Amino acid sequence: MSNKKAGKIIVIVAPSGAGKTTIARKLLADNPKIKFSTSATTRPPRKGEKDGREYYFLSEEEFSRKVKEDDFLEWEEYSGNKYGTLQSEVDKLVESGYFPLLDIEVKGALNVQRIYEKDSLISIFIKPPSMDVLKERLANRGSETDESLSRRLERAKIELQHAEDFDYSVVNDDLETAYTEVKEIIESFITD
Ligand code: ADP
Ligand code: 5GP
């Protein structure tokens, strides 16, 4: 008997700045059966981000309490902050008949792949066309300090080595082309 969890989960994974949030937002707007699984984080909100929508913004203490209480399906440190997928969030969506979409970094995604049955999870790695383009996109997004930008780029080099560990990898050069590819992969998975 497997003790892995049931339910169909979509995982979009990529180095920061590769475009996974942009692609995820388009998917969510196009397909009402797919719902974003809001993670918890200790990172402060960016301009325009709302608690409970992009993330549940927690203090270090609140996050640690949830770790102790085993509330996370997975959690990781990333660029000096903690990020975690709440088991309750994923379960709530699955029980309501939705397909949860997880937008998470590589280590967390590898862990989620170990927890869920192969048939109940699809993972797509979004690749930037090059490191130079990744740097440019991150810089243009205007969300990072110089320090955070270089930490994210350092981490990206390691993350890119894991592209083949996921079910699919899609290069996000032209957005519409990449989006169409991702949408087709996911729609065939959820209608299976
Ligand atoms: P991630 O969620 O992977 O960190 P984002 O979706 O925030 O990345 O994208 C990073 C930046 O790159 C954003 O400013 C976004 O508008 C831009 N971007 C995303 N995809 C493309 C693309 N195909 N071409 C040009 N810019 C893009
Ligand atoms: P950002 O600070 O740019 O919102 O997110 C930084 C990184 O953390 C991104 O790669 C994002 O996908 C990832 N992330 C967001 N939520 C989670 C989560 O719950 N778990 C893990 N492991 N990574 C997450």
Q: Which domain holds residue 103?
A: 9-190
Question: Does some domain include residue 3?
Answer: no
- How many whole angstroms separate alpha carbon 83 and alpha carbon 166? 20
Residue nearest atom 14 in ligand 1 by C-alpha distance: 141
pLDDT at 143: 86
CA of 133 to the centre of ligand 1 (A): 10
Cα–ligand 2 centroid distance for 72 (angstroms): 14
Does some domain include residue 165? yes
* Mean pLDDT score across all residues of the chain: 94
Count structural domains, the chain. Answer: 1
**Atom 22 in ligand 2: which residue has the minimum CA distance?**
108
Residue 4 in any domain: the answer is: no
**Which residue minimizes the CA distance to atom 22 of ligand 1?**
175
Residue 2 in any domain: the answer is: no
Are the beta carbons of 32 and 144 closer than 8 angstroms?
no
Residue 159 Cβ inside 6 Å of ligand 1? The answer reads no
Give the lowest-confidence range in 59-68, 78-87, 142-151. 142-151
Q: DSSP labels for 19-52?
A: SHHHHHHHHHHH-TTEEE-PEEESSPPPTT--BT
Q: What CATH number did the domain enclosing 122 receive?
A: 3.40.50.300
Please write the tens of the pLDDT for every residue from 97-122. Answer: 999 999 999 999 999 999 998 889 99
56 φ/ψ angles, rounded to the nearest 5 degrees: -90, 115
